[in-house]
Amino acid sequence: MGLSRFGGLVKGLGVARRRPFATSTSSSSSTAAGGGTIVRGTGSKSLNLYSAINQALHIALETDPRSYVFGEDVSFGGVFRCTTGLADRFGNQRVFNTPLCEQGIVGFGIGLAAMGNRAVAEIQFADYIFPAFDQIVNEAAKFRYRSGNQFNCGGLTIRAPYGAVGHGGHYHSQSPEAFFCHAPGLKVVIPRSPLQAKGLLLSCIRDPNPVVFFEPKWLYRLSVEEVPEHDYMLPLSEAEVIREGTDITLVGWGAQLSIMEQACKEAEKDGISCELIDLRTLLPWDKDTVEASVRKTGRLLISHEAPVTAGFGAEISASIVERCFLRLEAPVARVCGLDTPFPLIFEPFYMPTKNKILDAIKSTVNF
Amino acid sequence: MALSRLASSSGSSLLRPLTSALFLTPSLRRPISSAADDSTTLTIETSIPFTSHNCEPPSRTLETTPKELMTFFRDMALMRRMEIAADSLYKAKLIRGFCHLYDGQEAVAIGMEAAITKKDCIITAYRDHCTFLGRGGTLLQVFAELMGRQAGCSKGKGGSMHFYKKDAGFYGGHGIVGAQIPLGCGLAFGQKYSKDETVTFALYGDGAANQGQLFEALNISALWDLPAILVCENNHYGMGTAEWRAAKSPAYYKRGDYVPGLKVDGMDVFAVKQACKFAKEHALKNGPIILEMDTYRYHGHSMSDPGSTYRTRDEISGVRQERDPIDRIRKLIFAHDLATEKELKDIEKEVRKEVDEAIAQAKESPMLEPSELFTNIYVKGYGTESFGADRKEVRTVLP
């Protein structure tokens, strides 16, 4: 299954295995590099991130009569408008507000999922997910395992907006994905754009495992893309190479990718060819694609907003070093948030900006 | 759908007409500049009697002085003016981040302060500008903190939601809903050990009233007889969700079950003062008690919330006309002939000037040095390394 460690260079498209995907309208052949089973051209519209997520939720509720969307303030559309129109269309038995208690919301969702329903729980900001941490890590992640597969809460999907937004401060900007990547039994998925978000969210909702879906709140209005109007799903646990290159591999997810892309373009001017990979699913993550890329380039740089110590970049770094030690030309670089609580007025200093990434690209390439 | 139901059922409770204060002593006919303000007492009644749960409610008749009345008026006018100024500053993008305004709820902050000392502790959620001011904070500290400057009470590192004042027993200022309640009960626990006859007021909102940690804290406080007073500032909306849609039982003062509770008209500063006084005595003798302050906020939940998608403008203006705390005091002042309309207007002008000066001063205050990003994460001298963008070199050792 994995590549032989000492095999020669593998051509860069990555070993994107075409997993058969059970969706009625999809057909094969991706367009860009990497996985993806989308049919283009059967009607698409220019949408921003929250509209794409809204569409995905509409489709999910339409196609499965036993699916429910709930959370704080979702009835009127939610604080980010991701749930607009759902309550009107599907009624308040299927789309409803909960009281202000995250632990209750998730626990309740686990129960609903355990009865064979699809529960899409919204946590208003990822910063508030911690009261529910026990439910997610101790109850949801381990349910199937500890009951010997008698019970499961696979129908549970938890959606939460995460990430910096420019002025969020301590409790409206956090990126807690690393905490959840540490719980086997869960899946953690982070989209980078509207098209990705719709497909990935539908996959998460229909995946038979509990999933935590983090949405980059910065991109809710900012990111606009042509999104196909029909029902389509994107595969989980498959990373996507969104920019090909030969000198260094950059790995990231969510909103950070657009920053990394800018850095790649600048590096291009200095003759450094960067390969950019969107991990898409953090747990379980696509080690093979990243490994194949690093075997091609010999250098790795990881970037995320969360603090650098024990962030998910640490896992990627350790795994790649295990697999590609002799191939690496330079130490793995991590350009991440600083080891401080997410600051209010110091946000510009905290963030892993384009220039920090560019600096690290150059020093890694010139190691 | 939601709004119409609101208008029919709880609309009446929100727009309870202002029963004019009964005064039993002949009113004084002296202008406020007279020297003998403190010695004369006025007896007044709260707007409505208290409703209680598992305890005897305090009397609705209480005594006050002209000086107290005038102080209440001035302080509430100051708080009101401050919040409105913060609104403008936010719209001018001088304040960034999140800003949760307290206007409409001033009576709770002022009434509570009047009943307690600075050794008692107060802890609240993120709607804390006025509570901080009540605890003795200055306008400069407020505006500087809001704008992220050094002169701010948390040195500019906290922002709107994180005001603290250690020397006045104000423990903040918390962003995560409900998390401050167990903390508050812990403060009361400490006070029980110190035996100094002080109590803690842990404030939370109607949204937070559904958090599990409240009940955990309540159980422990009751079990160990802690001098903790849990105050639910019920402004009837948990952000955008009306209380009847979030709570099976919106009678928050009864939710303590075995813990006694009192329902208070939070727009009447004297009711608040009486209730807090009663609660402090009760808590020192018998352990925890819940106070539910029936209050209202004119602004939306925060500056990003217009406040009109889940309630009607008529409701907001209705409450402003019928139950505004400052107007109530104004009417009391006129009824007792303590000041003329012009004098009150002068006070308001003075207050406005004070606020403007504080803002100007706050604008002068410099931003924190970037190195402050790394301070106060751990205790000084711990020697922890903090890494910068590229882990190849140590960027700093945390001071």
Question: Which residues on adjacent β-strands are paired with residue B204?
Answer: B232
Same domain, A120 and A246: no
Tokens of B372: 């402050």
Beta carbons within 10 angstroms of residue A73's beta carbon: 21
State the Cα–Cα distance between residues B115 and B365, nearest whole angstrom. 34
User: Does residue A259 form part of some domain?
Assistant: yes
Within-domain flag for A164 = yes
**What are the backbone dihedrals phi and psi of residue A121, each rounded to the nearest 5 degrees, phi first?**
-95, 135
Residues A127, A211 within the same domain = yes
Question: What does the pLDDT read at residue B282?
Answer: 96
| H helix and E strand count, chain A | 13, 14
Residues in chain A within 8 Å Cβ distance of B246: 97-100
Cis peptide before B31 (omega within 30 of 0): no
Which residue from B minimizes the CA distance to A337?
A: B389
Interface of A with B in 102-141 (CB under 8 A): 103-104, 127-128, 130-131
d(CA B131, CA A353): 38
> What is the reported pLDDT for A52?
97
Q: Are residues A210 and A98 in the same domain?
A: yes
**What are the structure tokens assigned to B342, written together?**
């012009």
Residues in chain B: 399
Q: What are phi and psi of A100, to 5 degrees?
A: -80, 75
Question: In terms of CATH architecture, what is B49-368?
Answer: 3-Layer(aba) Sandwich (3.40)
Degrees, nearest 5: CA angle A266-A270-A272? 85
Q: What is the C-alpha separation between A334 and B392, in angstroms, rounded?
A: 9
Phi-psi region of B156 (alpha: psi -120 to 50; beta: other; left: phi over 0): left
- Out of A102, A122, A139, A261, pick the active-site residue: A102
**Among all residues of chain A, which has the CA nearest to that of B247?**
A99
Q: B93: which 2 tokens?
A: 């993008």
Same domain, A224 and A244: no
Q: A255 and A360 share a domain?
A: yes
Shortest Cα distance, chain A CAs vs residue B210, angstroms: 6
Return residues 312-341 of A near B (CB < 8 Å).
Answer: 331, 333-336, 338-341
Domain extent listing, chain B: 49-368, 369-398
Contacts of B257 (CB under 8 A, 6+ apart): none
Angle at B123 between CA B203 and CA B107, to 5 degrees: 55
Give kind and range of the element (H or E) at residue B353.
Answer: helix B341-364
How far CA A245 is from CA of A261, A263, A273, A276, B375, in Å, comes to 12, 13, 5, 8, 40
User: A160 and A253 in one domain?
Assistant: no
A195 found inside a domain: yes
Tens-binned pLDDT, residue by residue, of chain B (399 aa): 444 444 444 444 565 544 444 443 444 444 444 434 567 899 999 999 999 999 999 999 999 999 999 999 999 999 999 999 999 999 999 998 889 999 999 999 999 999 999 999 999 999 999 999 999 999 999 999 999 999 999 999 999 999 999 999 999 899 999 999 999 999 999 999 999 999 999 999 999 999 999 999 999 999 999 999 999 999 999 988 899 988 999 999 999 999 999 999 999 999 999 999 999 999 999 999 999 999 999 999 999 888 888 899 999 999 999 999 999 999 999 999 999 999 999 999 999 999 999 999 999 999 988 888 888 887 776 666 666 555 555 566 665
Kindly state whether residues A222 and A316 are assigned to the same domain: no
Choose the closest CB to A97 out of B241, B368, B388.
Answer: B241
Q: Looking at beta carbons, which residues of chain A come within 8 Å of B387?
A: 308-309, 338-339
* Coil, strand or helix at B323: helix
Query: A62: helix, coil or strand?
Result: helix
Q: Which helix (H) or strand (E) holds A334?
A: strand A333-337
ipTM of predicted assembly, 2 dp: 0.76
One domain, residues A255 and A177: no
CA distance B235 to B244: 12
- For chain A, the domain total comes to 2
B133 in Cβ contact with B125 (< 8 Å): no
Clarify whether residues A87 and A199 are in a common domain.
yes
Amino acid B239: pLDDT? 87
State which residues of chain A have pLDDT below 70.
Answer: 1-41
Question: Domain end: A208, A228, A248, which one?
Answer: A228
Helical segments of chain A, H only? 49-63, 86-90, 102-114, 133-134, 143-146, 177-181, 194-206, 219-222, 256-269, 287-297, 312-324, 347-350, 354-365
Q: Does A8 touch chain B (CB under 8 A)?
A: no
CA angle at residue A262 from A45 to A171, to 5 degrees? Answer: 80
The CATH number linked to A311 is 3.40.50.920
The sheet with strand B200-205 has its strands ordered as B51-53, B261-265, B289-294, B228-234, B200-205, B121-123
CA of A225 vs chain B CAs: smallest distance (Å) = 26
**CB-based contacts of A56: which residues, under 8 Å, 6+ apart?**
A197, A198, A199, A201, A202, A205
| Contact criterion met (CB < 8 Å) for A167 and B97 | yes
CB pair distance less than 8 Å for A345 and B387: no
Residue A227: strand pairing partners: A45
Q: How many CB atoms lie within 10 A of CB A23?
A: 18
Q: What is the pTM of this model?
A: 0.83
- Is A22 among the domain residues? no
Does A356 touch chain B if contact means CB atoms closer than 8 Å? yes
Q: Is A99 on the interface with B (CB under 8 A)?
A: yes
Partner residue opposite B212 with nearest CB, options A103, A169, A350? A103
Taking only Cα atoms into account, the Rg of chain A, rounded to an integer number of angstroms, comes to: 20
Among this protein's residues, is A102 annotated catalytic?
yes
Assess whether A345 and A221 both reside in one domain: no
The distance of B30 to chain A (nearest Cα, Å) reads: 51
Q: What is the CATH number of the domain that holds A137?
A: 3.40.50.970
Q: Put the strands of the sheet holding A281-283 in their side by side order.
A: A95-97, A67-71, A118-122, A156-162, A211-216, A187-189, A281-283
pLDDT of residue B304: 87
DSSP B118: T
Residue pointed to by tokens 């301070």: B375
Structural domain containing residue A314: 240-366
Q: A164-201 pLDDT, tens per residue?
A: 999 899 999 999 999 999 999 999 999 999 999 999 99
How far B78 CA sits from the closest chain A CA (Å)? Answer: 27
A329 shares its domain with A202: no
Q: How many CB atoms lie within 10 A of CB B237?
A: 23
> With a CB-CB cutoff of 8 Å, which residues 177-236 of chain A face chain B?
none
Q: Which residues of chain B make contact with A263, given a CB cutoff of 8 A?
A: none
Cβ neighbour number for residue A145 with a 10 Å cutoff: 11
Cross-chain residue pair A100–B388, CB shorter than 8 Å: no
β-bridge mates for residue A159, sequence order:
A122, A213
CB pair distance less than 8 Å for B387 and A309: yes
Residue B71 phi, psi (nearest 5): -65, -45
Which pLDDT value is given to residue B371? 82
Taken as a whole, chain A contains a residue count of 367
Cβ distance of A363 and B390 shorter than 8 Å: yes
Q: Are residues A259 and A179 in the same domain?
A: no
Calculate the CA A306 to chain-centre distance: 14
- Nearest CA to B294 among B69, B148, B104, B120? B104
Nearest to A100 among B211, B370, B374 (CB): B211
Shortest alpha-carbon distance between residue B52 and chain A (Å): 25
* A299 touches B: beta carbon within 8 Å: no
Q: Which of A202, A228, A254 is the last residue of a domain?
A: A228
Output the six-digit token pair for A270.
């200095």
Report chain B residues whose CB lies below 8 A from the CB of A97: 241, 245-246
Query: Distance between CA atoms of A49 and A221, rounded to whole angstroms?
Result: 6
- N- to C-terminal Cα separation, chain A: 32
**Structure token digits, residue B49:** 């009697």
